[in-house]
Structures are given as C-alpha cells and as structure tokens.
Amino acid sequence: MKKVLGLLLVGSLAVVFALSLSGCGTKEEVMEDITIEPEVVEDIEGVVEGDIALDDVPEETIYVDILSKVFADINFEFDQYRVLDSDVPTLEGVAAWLRENPEARVLIEGHCDERGTNEYNMALGEQRALAARRYLVGLGIDSGRLSTISYGEERPVAFGSTEDAWAENRRCHFAVSM
C-alpha cells in the first residue's frame, strides 16, 4: 500500500510539473520562473524512496477515494432507462453504504448522450435517475434520503460523437451529502 501511495504521489507531482511547463511562452522563460524550495525537494525525495505511510495521507483523501468506488456511475443502453444487471452490484454497494451512514443523503443525477432533442434527453435523464432511485428504495433505502435531477445531455463526461463517448454519457451519477 505504501508503494502504491508513493507512486500515486510521484505521478501526481509529475503531472503538476508537466502542466506548469505547458503554459504560454518558451521553455526557457518558464524554467526561469520555477523555484523549488529545499523542503519540497526533501519531501519529493522521501516519496521517491517510498517513505510515505498511510498515516501521512489525510483521512479525507482516503474517504473520498472509497466513496468514488462505492458511488461509481451506472450506465444505460441507448434510449433506455432500465437498470442493467452489470450495475446491480454498484447499487447494492450504494445501499449498503447508505445503511451504514443513515445521516447521508444522495442526489441521483440522470444524464444522456447528445443524440435526441433537449426536451427528450431531459425526460430520459429523469427516468434514469428515477430508475436508480426505485432500485435503491427496493433495497430498503428510505426514499426521503434520495432526490433526483436530470441534466439531459448538458454535462457530458466524454466528448465526441462516438459510440464509446455516448455510452459513457448515458449514466446516473451519485452526489453524496452528509
């Protein structure tokens, strides 16, 4: 676990560094503006050597990572709002987590791909959110803890007019509040 966290941190630092170099201007201009403080260098060296411990990672980070796995998006077939068998384990996991956290509330967001009219996609997104809500209620979750909203095609996670992009955008997303 320590090595995985170390690699994740090193990878994140590399991405941040690369992004800082990709701004406007020449490479020389950007390099002149970068200064690395000595304590940052020591921190990076510790990570590279794998010295990071799970205790050093903020508890909120671990919790958010767990929640992103529990509350993974569920997807739908084209022009459908039936919950797929492949998404049942996700919904069962959401229900189990909600049983363990009775103070939590969930907003279920319904989304669509870009095909169809705005009005049609808003209605279909709502049907998708309601289907996920009905499934969770069927698993014993109090309906008062679950609300729905449709974003239709307005908030895509994948861009492009391809089957893969459309499939990713036909989804329900779960937003948790405590």
Q: Which domains does the chain have, with CATH numbers?
A: 2-57 (no CATH), 63-177 (3.30.1330.60)
Q: What is the DSSP string of 32-70?
A: HH----HHHHHHHHHHHTT---GGGS-HHHHHHHHHHHH
User: What pLDDT shows up at residue 25?
Assistant: 41
**Regions in the chain scoring below 70 on pLDDT:** 1-68
User: What pLDDT shows up at residue 70?
Assistant: 81
Structure-token match 């779960």, residue found: 174
User: What pLDDT shows up at residue 134?
Assistant: 98
User: What pLDDT shows up at residue 65?
Assistant: 56
User: What pLDDT shows up at residue 125?
Assistant: 97
Dihedral of the CA atoms 95, 165, 18, 7 (nearest 10)?
A: 40
User: What pLDDT shows up at residue 66?
Assistant: 61
Dihedral of the CA atoms 178, 52, 19, 157 (nearest 10)?
A: -40
Q: For the full predicted model, state whether its pTM sits above 0.85.
A: no
